[in-house]
Amino acid sequence: MQELLLLHGALGAKEQFSELEKTLAGKFKTHALNFSGHGRLPSHHHAFTIQNFAHEVLDWMNQNYIQTIDVFGYSMGGYVALWLARFYPERVGKIFTLGTKLKWNEEEAEREIKMLNTEKIVEKVPAFAQALAERHGEHEWKSVMHKTTLLMHDLAHTHLEEQDFIKIENQVLLGRGGKDTMVTFDETDYTHRLLKNSEFKIYENVAHPIEQVPLDLLKKEIERFF
């Protein structure tokens, strides 16, 4: 059975893929892992960085004797997959990213960081704060958010450049929801044009949160692409 690795986004956890894994069970042997510091998994590193998360994927693959695997990466998970494709191309096969922010600089990072204010989230979106507490731990979720803020700062300076995308030869599907306010059409289309072997699809009426992406749509696209 074909194997598929599912990588979660920032502030996320592998449990968000539970229903998707059930849906794909007949055709794929799926694997989902928590990046360290997420989903109540202790952090293996002092800092959240894309490089550290990419090495966690490689460590997991080595521990499970997996040489190469296809990847579905949601949001940050998609960026980690592309990082692997750039620097460890022999370890990943096809890559399907959904809602992955591809343009990073100081301005973009600051825009994302503004949405990571714990006090404002508790005050204005208590349901989201509660969901994060349940996902990461009552006392840990604020630490996860703080480290994610530092990750954004790091991405402003350490990210995939034009010449990096040009060097990626893996087959890539870049997916973006038509109602995604975090990821722009322009940045996704631009990256699509840089990649040697890519497809760009827009899913109308789909917003950024993975919980709002219809399961049947994801199942259909994963089965079609992989």
Give the tens place of pLDDT for each residue, 32-81: 999 998 988 877 777 899 999 999 999 999 999 999 999 999 999 999 99
Least confident residue range of 12-26, 43-57, 184-198: 43-57
The number of distinct structural domains making up the chain is: 1
Give the tens place of pLDDT for each residue, 69-110: 999 999 999 999 999 999 999 999 999 999 999 999 999 989
Given a contact cutoff of 8 angstroms between Cβ atoms, the answer to whether 18 and 138 are in contact is: no
CATH number at residue 185: 3.40.50.1820
Q: Which domain holds residue 23?
A: 2-225
In this structure, the number of other CB atoms found within 10 A of the CB of residue 185 comes to: 12
Check residue 118 and give its pLDDT. 81
pTM value is 0.95
Given a contact cutoff of 8 angstroms between Cβ atoms, the answer to whether 102 and 75 are in contact is: no
Phi then psi for 98, rounded to 5 degrees?
-135, 125
Count of alpha carbons within 13 angstroms of residue 176, beta-carbon side: 22
Give the tens place of pLDDT for each residue, 115-173: 888 888 888 888 888 888 888 888 888 888 899 999 999 999 999 999 999 999 999 99
Check residue 70 and give its pLDDT. 98
Computed over every residue of the chain, the mean pLDDT equals 93
